[in-house]
Structure 1
Amino acid sequence: MPLPTLPFDVVVEILSRLPVKILMQLQCVCKSWKSLISDPKFAKKHLRHASQSLVLTVGELDFVVIANPLSSVFTEATTTTIQVDYPVKDKDDSAAIVGSCHGILCLSFCSQPMKVVVVCYPHTLVQGPVSNCRNLVKVHTLGTTSWRTIQDFPPNTLILNESGKFLRGAINWLAYRQRHSSCWVIMSLDLEKEFHREIPQPDYGGINVLSLNIGVLRDCLCIFSNADTFSDVWLMKEYGNKDSWTKLFRLPHTRNLGSWPLVYALYVSNDDQVLFDIEREELVVYNSRDGTFKDPGIQIIDKWMESEVYHESLISPCF
């Protein structure tokens, strides 16, 4: 009697939940599996189920990855780390994490820039006040050999010197604008249509906001509004819709963070525990339901670090 076979759509669901390393081995099982696993549509489906991990840069050149699924940070499970090799390793070069998108981790090195969208300012204007600032936006498409200049951002708008956050086909930056009064704005650049717009911010309720940071949580744009003694985390549930801003929770500061707090929420678990990066110096887990803190047990051997969450992925950068 022949062995029973599973419907192909059931096989696809099972395979889409397996780790990348196993899928690479399973490509050798048969031609149909090889064709499926190498299909870009399957890669996108796999990404939705892929496990998440935490990658850290410690100091200037040491990259460390939390080998366990990120969910283990919120449990009592032992968290192990592994050292990661990367293609450019020069003792005279400093490294940084630019960001992570669709399972691809982008790194930059001070002597080898790798960005594909650049916002730059003419040198003679950068020396003056923000009111005289004009910026240029240049795009480099992979496979070409030149940069293209596209529509400038509005004058008097200074993009902060941080990497943009990719979401919904657009890169989002926090910027500073000076007209009749100074204010913070979020600028969004649509990569397909190559036009920019300003993303509306939430109503902070009269709170004296010292600084803002932006990020991506639960596949939504988020804002971290930092005050003297706490930081509020806001989520934009419908991209571009001001009325969809929702305050997730308030993080009380456990120490004095100065006049420019740097607080980032890296990940929110299903039970509302949040992994925070505080001042690029420490990681803490905050339980927003009962207001308690705990140490995730990740040893930082240097006083400075950068952190990013990434997914296992079959998606190729297609260089």
Structure 2
Amino acid sequence: MASSQLLPATSSLGDLPRDALVEILLRIPAKDLCRLHAVCPSWRALTSSPLFVGEHKSRHTAPLLAVAYRDQGMANGVDVVDLSGNIVRRIPSIESDIVVEDESGHVFAVIPISHDSITVMRTHLNLICFTRELHPLGLWVLNPATGATLVLPPGHSDELAKEDKIQANYGYGQVESCALGQVSSMGVYKAIRIVSVGDRQMCEVITLDGTNYGRWRGKQSPPALIFAGHGERMRCVVVNGLVHFLMDFYSSIMNSGVITIEPGSIASFNLDTEEWMGTLRGPAPVRTFVQDNEDFCYGHLNLQLSLAELDFSLVTVHNNHYISMGLWFLKDFENAIWEKKYNIPSHVAQLYVYPFLILHDGRILFSHGKGLLKRYDPKTGTYDDALEVTDSRSIGIYTGSLLSL
């Protein structure tokens, strides 16, 4: 795109040629460029225009991260940070203290909001989604560009609300997994959550319409049990409008003594059609790992498997702790064809280590334990600290532009 096309029609840019000034501004990092908004109305109009913002973002591709924070005063919220740990924007929580009432409406407890904690979901969007520890059904969606937070309805869909076991549990079911994704064909966002009702898992979906008045809709249950765990083992991921859940092969073996779900199998939900797409078989070496390795059992494999979204692909992660970590990229969904692109060595393949992001230079970021993001270079084999965070399991990737913050 020609630089002159990015200029407002009535802009006055002084003595510099128009294209030259735009080219200079496009080369300036976004954080510094934001300070130039106050130079003059023409510069502010230019650097705020959607065309300029889009072109600038295409040239400055360093990722931004969304992480939860708690300050010294115990206030909490979400920070947008760069890979150097610089806070680009801090968005405080909008929640108030939690008032607990009995059936007659009498208040018998007030829980300070400082006692609650935020968990940022592992999204890859220009929105940030998070849950709160003291709100078991709650989902919050934050738009860093505007600072607005959308509070999704805390109750169940009409279909689930009628369930006897839901009603017997004060109207609450146990949320096993949840995700937020964008439907590319429509450009809208949808959230999905899997709720346990007794020995069943039920599915609910909601469309984000920019208000607080949407409703959850009950959908068909998953084709078989999916792994629970609210994301700390990274067993749910969204790629191109499909939500992929790792299926719970281990419970089926423990309960029946036979393999009713192949290890590594994945249940995929289409956010566009709001239908399940059957069962996706995992990589063949994962499916046969226990049979091929007599020193391992299904309990080991249960702890080793997770899912990731890397380079816009669905990835099955087989972390054979302290031995190696295989990253299998899905090449063909219909035929369940996987390609092993990385075999990560033993000094990376540790407990509670999950691949998070592949950088443009080929290095891979991993969440490590609780408070670190670490960086592995496949070319040199080096593995070092990248960023200290509160909880590396509570972190998302923000794809919006710094100029919009």
Do Structure 1 and Structure 2 share a fold, with TM-score over 0.5? yes
The equivalent residue for 2:110 is: none
Is 1:160 matched with 2:228? yes
Partner of residue 87 from structure 1, selected from 71, 83, 93: 93
Structure 2 SS opposite 1:6: helix
Give the Å deviation of 1:307: 3.4
Q: Which runs of 5+ in 2 are unaligned?
A: 1-14, 96-112, 141-190, 253-257, 291-300
Aligned to 2:337: 243
Residue 156 of structure 2: aligned partner = none
Secondary structure at the counterpart of residue 288 of structure 1: coil
In structure 2, relative to structure 1, the CA distance for the partners of 1:33 and 1:263 (3 Å cut) is same
Percent of pairs identical after alignment?
A: 17
Quote the residue 2:202 is aligned against: 135
C-alpha separation between the residues in 1 aligned to 2:281 and 2:324?
A: 22
Deviation string 1:181-212 (CA, Å, 9 cap, x unpaired) is 34342222111111122333223265444521
- Show CA shifts across 1:22-55 (max 9, x none): 4696597459957x9565x877666555431344
CA deviations 1:86-143 (Å, max 9, x no partner) are 2246212121011333222222212341163211121x22xxxxxxx34333435434
Residues 150 and 42 (structure 1), Cα distance of their counterparts in 2 relative to 1, 3 Å cut: farther
**Where does residue 121 of structure 1 map in the other structure?**
196
**Whose radius of gyration is greater, 1 or 2?**
2
How far off is 1:82 after superposition? Answer: 7.9
Matches within 5 A, 1:121-270: 121-122=196-197, 124-125=198-199, 133-142=200-209, 143=211, 144-154=213-223, 156-163=224-231, 164-177=236-249, 178=252, 180-182=259-261, 183-197=263-277, 198-204=279-285, 206-208=288-290, 209-210=301-302, 211-228=304-321, 229-237=323-331, 242-253=336-347, 261-270=351-360
Equivalent residues, number:
289
Alignment-derived partner of residue 308 in structure 1:
396
Deviates more, 1:80-89 or 1:107-116: 80-89
State the match for 1:52 in structure 2.
63
Q: Distance in 2 between matches of 1:92 and 1:286?
A: 36
Three-state SS of the structure 1 residue aligned to 2:327 is strand
- Secondary structure of 1:291 counterpart: coil
Query: What is the deviation of 1:65?
Result: 5.4
Query: Which has more helix, going by share of residues?
Result: 2
C-alpha distance in structure 1 between counterparts of 2:403 and 2:247, whole Å: 31
2:370 is aligned, of 280, 289, 292, to 280
The amino acid across from 1:202 in the alignment is: P
Q: TM-score scaled to structure 1, two decimals? A: 0.69
Residue 292 (structure 1) aligns with: 382
* Code of the aligned partner of 1:186: I
2: distance between equivalents of 1:45 and 1:162?
Answer: 37
Amino acid at match of 1:292: T
Structure 2 distance, partners of 1:83, 1:173, is 32
The TM-score normalised by the length of structure 2 is 0.57
Cα distance in 1 for partners of 2:68, 2:221 equals 33
Q: State whether residues 52 and 309 of structure 1, in contact with CA within 8 Å, keep that contact through their aligned partners in structure 2.
A: yes
Distance 1:26 1:82 in 2: 16
Q: Determine which structure has greater relative contact order: mean sequence separation of CA pairs < 8 Å that are 6+ residues apart, divided by chain length.
A: 1
